[in-house]
Structure 1
Amino acid sequence: MKPNDEYVSRADHFSLGVDADSGRPYVSFPVSNGVVDYEEYYELTDDQYARFLAAPVSALPFVEECRRHEHDELLLQKPGWNRGTPV
């Protein structure tokens, strides 16, 4: 995976971008498991990506759902046994 962030919200701690390897759009946010900090990447549809880029605040409800693990089926990289929590 080669993430290419197109939008970064420092205030709300999330990014929007496209994976250069697969061409899939994503939303990501930082997590930590106490040993290492990393990003979790959730796949977006092309429509979601366009809407969220046009109005990034509209992504916040979806990002919060992802932080609560409500869309784990959309994870681009499955976490290991010691999954981090959102930072």
Structure 2
Amino acid sequence: MRLNDETIYRDLRFSLGRHPQTGQPCLLFPVECGFLGYMACLQISEETFEEYRRDPYSALPFIERQQGRSPQELRELGFEV
């Protein structure tokens, strides 16, 4: 998925931007689950969006907690996979 107004943090391996259909702020990042790797996208609040823009490193604990989850698990948590 490509986000609108995307800011890519290559060294941190995630992007922030707006969902192309809804305009909602989103966090987009790769997830590794065993041999499977895929991109996960979560719509986040404006406050979280601004926090992650001010301090991109503050997103890392959240992203790290999602590693190892299956696509089905993330969908159940509200992610687009």
Alignment TM-score, normalising by the size of structure 1: 0.65
Number of aligned residues: 75
Matched to 2:61, the amino acid is: P
2:78 to 65, 71, 74: 74
TM-superposed deviation, 1:45: 1.1
SS in structure 2 at match of 1:11 = helix
User: For residues 68 and 32 of structure 1, do their structure 2 counterparts lie closer, same or farther at Cα, with a shift above 3 Å needed?
Assistant: closer
Matched residue, 1:85:
none
> Structure 1: which 5+ residue stretches go unaligned?
80-87
Distance 2:5 2:31 in 1: 17
Alignment TM-score, normalising by the size of structure 2: 0.69
Matched residue, 1:49:
49
* Structure 1 residue ranges (4+ consecutive) displaced by more than 4 angstroms after TM superposition: 31-35
> Structure 2: which 5+ residue stretches go unaligned?
none
Matched residue, 1:29:
29
Distance 2:56 2:11 in 1: 12
2:15–2:28 contact (8 Å) kept in structure 1: yes
TM-superposed deviation, 1:52: 0.4
1:9–1:15 contact (8 Å) kept in structure 2: yes
Q: Percent identity?
A: 29
SS in structure 2 at match of 1:74 = coil
2:32–2:38 contact (8 Å) kept in structure 1: yes
Matched to 1:26, the amino acid is: C
